[in-house]
Structure formats: structure tokens, C-alpha cells
Amino acid sequence: MTQPHYKLMTLSVEGIRLTTYNHKHKIISLPRGYINSMNDQVVFWAPDDSGLEVLKNAMPEGMGIDWIDSSGSLEVSSEALKNTKAVILGGAVRFDVQLAAKCPELRLIQSTSAGTNQLDKTALGELGIKVSNNGGGNAVAVAEHTIALMVGVYRKLQLQFKSVQDGKWMSDIRDTWVSQAHELTGKTVGIVGVGRIGSRVAKRLQGWECELIYHDIVDPRAELIDELEMKKVGFDELLRESDIVTLHVPLNRKTTGMISDREFDLMKPTAILINACRGPVIDEKAFIRAIKEEKIMAAGVDVLEVEPTPEDNPLIEMDNVLITPHLAAFTQEAFEKSRAFAAYNATKVANGGEAESVVLPDD
């Protein structure tokens, strides 16, 4: 028998140095609806197998990974998953509790994203199943995108791009928008949530010579706060004092609609709002009112309440709102780190270890 060929690869994920092996897997024919290999302890749960090869390359020696069609029936899926210990999600797909209850060996649902709000973590936890996010694999990409939104909003980059593409060069941008054109340097930036992404935003803003204040319900490490030279303030004070408010919180019951009419009323009329976490963190109707009534100056968002957003969403037509289509994590490096961590964590659990980067149920 021909021995499998192994190619040594080394990946670095959030300070963890992972040595993995790229090896070929024998795929056998099974009923339509899923692909299986000789090892079904870790599976890739997705509507198609387009991300399977990348995950295979990240799996350590001796550990296979199967693709299971997430659109399959409960009966087919539960049979395919009967020996599975860890599931890696292909994007923001759901994994229903009804199915999880029929998976006696399942111990981990692993996301390749930072967000896990589509999963019922409380009910899964009652079944002994933990949920993990991507371990900060996309934190750098989202932090960079956040700062790009800040600069883009201040310089009206979306209007500049469109004006040039339309053959109008600078058009009337200089005259119309000069009052909103600002430098980032010297601004007070209020960071709501200083976890993996928020802390990286803060670190990068040090180079822009900004004054940093923050609010978080969890106290970060004291040495991190000292290193980043941030001042902790109450949420209302942050809203009142910030030239830029940037949101970096998970979506849960406490954070849904955390920015609404009351919060907009507290913000400076010259303030800008940045959101690269989850759309429902902002009450979108209140957001539209705040822009129309000039409660704040402008905004830059990568996320909205409904995605794709309806074509008639008023925010799309507002020249002082910069919108990107939920692609803040859109980098090769983020994809690689997120998938490498997913493979590492799923393999660890399949081998009897404890999961890392576990997301607790909403309070």
C-alpha cells in the first residue's frame, strides 16, 4: 500500500505556534448529502465543501475531517454525526439544538468567525456542548478595517471614489463637505469593548496620537490598559466625550440595541459612529433618525441589522454614512489564522482536551 505523503507546515495563531501536516485523505462514496473519510470525529458543517481542502491542510497528522451538508435532513445529518466530537462551522451557518441532541459524542461547535450569535449556547451547554469562536483569528483584519472606516468617514472617501469613477474629478466635494473633513490625530476615541479586536484598535490608534477612553463590562488586564494608555469611563461619559465612538462587542441580549435614541442624544453633534461588530448592536431606526436630525455628524459601518440590507435602506443614500458589506475580516491572513485555530481546537477536543476560546451563554 502506498503510504500517505505528509508535508510539514507551521502556522502561528494568536501566540500559539501550531505544527500541522498537509496530507491526502481518501474519500469514499456515501449517500448523497455528505462526504466522509475514515475518520469522522471532526467534521466541517457547511452547505458545500468549498472550504474543506483548506481545513484538511490545517489538520494535524492522523486526524481527518469530513464534510457534512448542513442542508441535509435531521435523519441523514444525525446519522452522519453519530460519532462526531467536534463540528467546525462553514461561515455563519446554524446548528440546531434538535440535531445536537441526537449527537451523543458531540462536545464542541467551533466557529471560524468571531460571532456565534446564531447558536443557542445555553441549550447547547445543557447538552454538554461548548461553543468556541475563532480565537481572534480575524482581530487584526477587523481592527485595520475599523481604522479605515474612521479615516474614510472623515475624508469622505466613498464620495471621492465615486466622483472620479463618474468622470467628475473632485466635483463639489471640497465645497460641500469641508466642514466634516478632519484628521484622526488628536481625536478622542471611545472604544466600547476592549477584547481581542477593541484592544488592537487601541494599539494601532496610539500611532495616530489619539486620546483613548474605553468602556467594558469586563475589566481587561491592568498591564494592557497601562500599555495602551487608555482611561476607563462610564458608558454615558464615553458617549458625551468621544469624537469617535467605535463598537467592539459581541451580539447578545445585553448589547442588542445598545445604541439607540437615548445614546445618540448623548453624543456630540460632531461625533462619528463606527460599527464593525454586529448590526443589531445599533437600533437602525434610531440610527437613521440620528443622521437625518444631525444628532451626530457621520458614521462608518461594516454591518447592518439585516444583511444584505434592503435596496431602499435610507442609509445607503446618505453621503455622510460609509457602508462596507460585512467584509472587515476579508484578508487571506485572517482566513488562515481562523481556520488554523479551528483545526487546532477541534482536534484538541476530539483527543479529549479542553476547548479554548469558549463563548459563554448570554447572561
> What average pLDDT is seen over the chain?
89
278 assigned to active site = yes
307 assigned to active site = yes
Single pTM value for the model:
0.85
Instruction: Kindly report, residue by residue over 286-299, the tens digit of the pLDDT.
Output: 999 999 999 999 99
pLDDT on residue 238: 98
pLDDT at 243 over 90: yes
Cβ-defined contacts of 202-210 (< 8 Å, 24+): 202/228, 202/230, 203/143, 203/227, 203/228, 204/143, 204/144, 204/147, 205/147, 208/147, 208/184, 209/185, 210/184, 210/185, 210/186
pLDDT on residue 214: 98
Instruction: Kindly report, residue by residue over 121-168, the tens digit of the pLDDT.
Output: 999 999 999 999 999 999 999 999 999 999 999 999 999 999 999 999
Tell me the pLDDT band of 103, cut-offs 50, 70 and 90: very high
For residue 118, what is its C-alpha cell? 446564531
* Active-site residue identified among 278, 284, 339, 356: 278
CATH class in words for 139-323: alpha beta
What single letter denotes the amino acid at residue 363?
D
Sorted by where each begins, the domain ranges of the chain are 6-137+333-350, 139-323
Tell me the CATH number for domain 6-137+333-350. 3.40.50.720
* Active-site residue identified among 53, 183, 307, 354: 307
Q: Are the folds of 6-137+333-350 and 139-323 the same?
A: yes
pLDDT on residue 29: 29
Q: How many helices (H) and strands (E) does the chain have?
A: 13, 15
Mean pLDDT across 312-331: 97
359 vs 354: CA distance, rounded Å: 13
* Active-site residue identified among 200, 248, 326, 339: 326
Instruction: Kindly report, residue by residue over 29-63, the tens digit of the pLDDT.
Output: 233 333 334 457 999 999 999 989 989 988 988 88
